[in-house]
Amino acid sequence: MELLKPAAALAFALALAAPASAQDRTGTLAKIDASGEIVIGHRESSVPFAYLDENQKPVGYSIDLCMKVVDAVSAELGKELSVKYVPVNPKTRIALMANGTIDLECGSTTNNLTRQEQVEYLPTTFITGTKLMVRKDSGISSVADLDGKAVALAQGTTNERAVKAAIKELGLDVKVLPVRDHAEGMLSLETDRVDVYATDHILLFGLIAKSKTPDAFAVVGDFLSFDPYALMVRRDDSAFELIGKKALAEVFRSGEINGIYAKWFDPLDVAQTDLLKAAFQLNALPE
Amino acid sequence: MNYNWNWGVLFEEEYLGWLISGLGWTFAVALAAWVLALAVGVLVGVGRTLPSRPVAALCTTYVELFRNVPLLVQLFLWYFVMPEIVPDDLGRWMKRDMPNPEYVTAVIGLGLYTASRVAEQVRAGINAVGPGLTSAAYANGFSTAQTYRYVLLPISFRLIVPPMTSEFLTIFKNSSLALTIGLLELTAQSQQIAEYTFQGFEAFTAATVIYVVIALGATVIAQTLEKYTRIPGFVGKG
C-alpha cells in the first residue's frame, strides 16, 4: 500500500481540482462516463460462454449477459456507450481487472473467495465443476483409476488445483502436464500424450462437440469441485456492481434468461440443472 | 487501481520454493541449450564460409530455416508435431517414456534456434578477418583446414565475443518460452504463484528482478572475458 500513497494523493488532488459532475460518480462509472466507452474483457475459446465466431467477434452466453449490463450502464449514464473488447485468459483476467484495464469480464470465471481479495463478482450465471475427459477405450472412470497415468491440466485454473488435491488425497502417482489452454489440453489428449484432460465439465462438452471425433471421448467421474461462474467486476465499487446486479436480476425475473440459455446450450444438449434454476431464482431480487 | 499489495507472499515457504525451482529450470534449460547452440552454431557458421558449395548451401538452408520461424512455433512443432510424424513406436516413446520430455524438447528447440543466430555471428566474424590474411595463408602453402585452424578461427572467435554476449543473455530470456510446453521455469512459476495467491504483481516483479540479476551477472562475466580476448590493434576496442 505504501507504493500507492503518492498515486492516491495525486488522484485526490485531481478530484478536488476537477469540477464536480452532476451526479458525483465514482470509480468505474465515472471512468466510463468520462471516456464514453466500456471495456469488456472476454475469453477466446470458452465455448459457449465467450469465444470468437467465424468473423473473429466475441460471442457467447456470457457476452449476451454482459450486453444486458452494458445496456443498463448506458441507461444509467443516459448516453450511448461504445464497447471495446479486450481478450483475456485465465492468467491475465484478474490482473487486468485489478489494474483498471477492463471494466467487466465476460467468460467462464469461477467465483471463489480467494479471488474476491482482488476482484468482485456479479450473481452466478452458471454452475459447473471439474470432471475428467478421457478416451472411451482408456478404462478410466474416476480419479481412483489415474494411478500411473498422465493428465493434462490448464495452468492457472481452479480445476488444476482441484485435480491435484484429489490426486494427493488418494496418494496416487500421476504425471501432470501443465498446458496453456483448453485447445492445447485437447491436443495433448488427442495425440495420446496424456490419458486425461480435466476442466469444467461444461467446457469439456464444448471441446468434445468441436473435436474431429466426438464419439471417441467421454466425460467421467464425480464433480471434483464446485465452480459457480459469474461475471467479474472491480472490487470496492458497489455503485457499478449494483447496476450489474439490477440488470441480471431483471433478466432472471422476466424469464429472459431461459431464451438466452437455450440459444447457447441447446446445441450442446445441456439442460438447466435444478441447482442452476435455483440460483437464477435466488438472484431474481425484487426492484 | 485498487490492488492489495502483499510482498510477504514471496517469502512464504511454498512459493519461495517454487521461485527457486523455477530459477533452477531456467538455468538448466538456458545452459544446456547454450552448449548445444555453440556446438551446432560454430559448425554451421564455419560451414557457410567454406569453399565447398554444397556444404555452404546446406548450412545456409539451416540458418534461414531456424532463424526465420518464430521460436514459439518451433517449440510447438518439436513438442506436438514431431512425435506424430516419426514412426509410431518412437512417437509413443517420445510422448510417454522419454525422461523429462518438456525439458529435452525445450533444450533442443531453444538450442537449435539459437545455433542459427550463433552461426551468423561466427560467419560474420570469419568474414571480418578479411581476404588478405586468408590469401596470405594460402600463399604460404596452408591447406584450407590449416587456414581455418591457425588463422581464421583464432582471430574470428576473439572478435565475436561481444556479440555472443547478447546471444547468451537472449537464451536466458528465450528460455521463458519453454513454459508454453509445460516446463515450469521461472516465468511459469511466477504465473503459478499469481494464480494461487492472486498477488500477480509481486510474483512478476520478483521474476523481473531475478532476470535482471542474471543478465547483470552474465554481463560482468562477459566483460571480463572480452578484456582477456581482445586482440590488440584489431577492431573492437572497448
Q: What is the pLDDT of residues B89-136, one digit of tens each?
A: 999 898 888 888 899 999 999 999 999 999 999 999 999 998 899 999
Taking contacts as CB-CB distances below 8 angstroms, the residues of chain B near A155 are 179, 188, 191-192, 195
Phi–psi pair at A181, nearest 5 degrees: -155, 180
Domains and CATH numbers, chain A: 32-127+229-283 (3.40.190.10), 128-227 (3.40.190.10)
Percent of chain A scoring above 70 in pLDDT: 92
Facing residue for A155 by CB, picked from B5, B102, B192: B192
Whether residue B177 contacts residue B28, with contact meaning beta carbons closer than 8 Å, is answered with: no
Facing residue for A235 by CB, picked from B2, B179, B188: B2
| A193 in B contact zone (CB under 8 Å) | yes
CB contact under 8 Å between A4 and B196, yes or no, is: no
| A260 in B contact zone (CB under 8 Å) | no
User: What's residue B235's pLDDT?
Assistant: 55
| Model confidence pLDDT, tens digit, residues A140-161 | 999 999 999 999 998 878 899 8
Whether residue A135 has pLDDT greater than 90: yes
Q: Is A132 left (phi over 0), alpha (psi -120 to 50) or beta?
A: beta
Length of chain B: 238
| B126 in A contact zone (CB under 8 Å) | no
User: What's residue B236's pLDDT?
Assistant: 47
Cα separation, A227 vs A279, in Å, equals: 13
Alpha-carbon distances of A103 from A99, A107, A145, A249, B179, rounded to whole Å: 10, 13, 43, 19, 29
CB contact under 8 Å between A95 and B194, yes or no, is: yes
Quickly state the pLDDT bin for A16 (edges 50, 70, 90).
very low
Taking contacts as CB-CB distances below 8 angstroms, the residues of chain A near B1 are 4, 7, 98-100
CB contact under 8 Å between B1 and A95, yes or no, is: no
User: Hey, what amino acid is at B224?
Assistant: T
Window from A231-240, B43-52, B185-194 with minimum mean pLDDT: B185-194
User: What's residue A20's pLDDT?
Assistant: 45
Facing residue for A114 by CB, picked from B80, B198, B201: B198
Taking contacts as CB-CB distances below 8 angstroms, the residues of chain A near B3 are 4, 98-99, 118
Quickly state the pLDDT bin for B182 (edges 50, 70, 90).
confident
Give the residues across from A154 on adjacent strands.
A179
Taking contacts as CB-CB distances below 8 angstroms, the residues of chain B near A177 are 102, 182
| Model confidence pLDDT, tens digit, residues A249-284 | 999 999 999 999 999 999 888 899 999 999 999 999
CB contact under 8 Å between A91 and B194, yes or no, is: yes
Locate the chain B residue with the closest alpha carbon to A175: B96
Cα separation, B197 vs B81, in Å, equals: 35
Facing residue for B195 by CB, picked from A4, A156, A179: A156
CB contact under 8 Å between B92 and A3, yes or no, is: no
User: What's residue B9's pLDDT?
Assistant: 86
Whether residue A23 has pLDDT greater than 70: no
- The residue-averaged pLDDT of B147-160 equals 93
Taking contacts as CB-CB distances below 8 angstroms, the residues of chain A near B84 are 191
| Model confidence pLDDT, tens digit, residues B10-50 | 888 889 999 999 999 999 999 999 999 999 999 999 999 99
Locate the chain A residue with the closest alpha carbon to B96: A193
Facing residue for A191 by CB, picked from B2, B3, B83: B83
Facing residue for A193 by CB, picked from B1, B95, B198: B95
User: What's residue B238's pLDDT?
Assistant: 40
| Model confidence pLDDT, tens digit, residues A112-127 | 998 999 999 999 999 9
CB contact under 8 Å between A178 and B184, yes or no, is: yes
Total beta-carbon pairs less than 8 A apart between chain A and chain B? 69
Whether residue B203 has pLDDT greater than 50: yes
| Model confidence pLDDT, tens digit, residues A86-97 | 999 887 899 899
User: What's residue A210's pLDDT?
Assistant: 81
Locate the chain B residue with the closest alpha carbon to A177: B182
Taking contacts as CB-CB distances below 8 angstroms, the residues of chain B near A195 are none
Which of the two residues, A181 and A169, has the higher pLDDT score?
Answer: A169
Query: Would you call A137 exposed, middle or buried from its count of C-beta atoms within 10 A (0-12, 13-18, 19+)?
Result: exposed
Whether residue A206 has pLDDT greater than 90: no
Facing residue for B191 by CB, picked from A7, A155, A236: A155
How does the average pLDDT of chain A come out, rounded? 90
Quickly state the pLDDT bin for A234 (edges 50, 70, 90).
very high
Facing residue for A100 by CB, picked from B1, B96, B182: B1
CB contact under 8 Å between A118 and B4, yes or no, is: yes
Find which of B2, B7, B18, B191 to mutate to test the A interface (most A CBs within 10 Å of its CB). Answer: B2
| Model confidence pLDDT, tens digit, residues B26-35 | 999 999 999 9
Grid cell locating B12: 512464504
Cα separation, A282 vs A42, in Å, equals: 26
CB contact under 8 Å between B80 and A187, yes or no, is: yes
| A14 in B contact zone (CB under 8 Å) | no
Coil/strand/helix, residue A197:
strand
Facing residue for B200 by CB, picked from A4, A94, A237: A94
Chain B: nearest CA to A240, how far in angstroms? 15
Whether residue B188 contacts residue B180, with contact meaning beta carbons closer than 8 Å, is answered with: no
Cα separation, A9 vs A203, in Å, equals: 45
State the angle between helix axes of B101-128 and B13-49 in degrees (0 to 180), rounded to the nearest 10. 40
Chain B: nearest CA to A270, how far in angstroms? 29
Percent of chain B scoring above 70 in pLDDT: 97
pTM score, whole prediction: 0.75
Cα separation, A272 vs B71, in Å, equals: 44
| B8 in A contact zone (CB under 8 Å) | no
Whether residue A22 has pLDDT greater than 70: no
CB contact under 8 Å between B188 and A161, yes or no, is: no
Residue B69 DSSP symbol = S
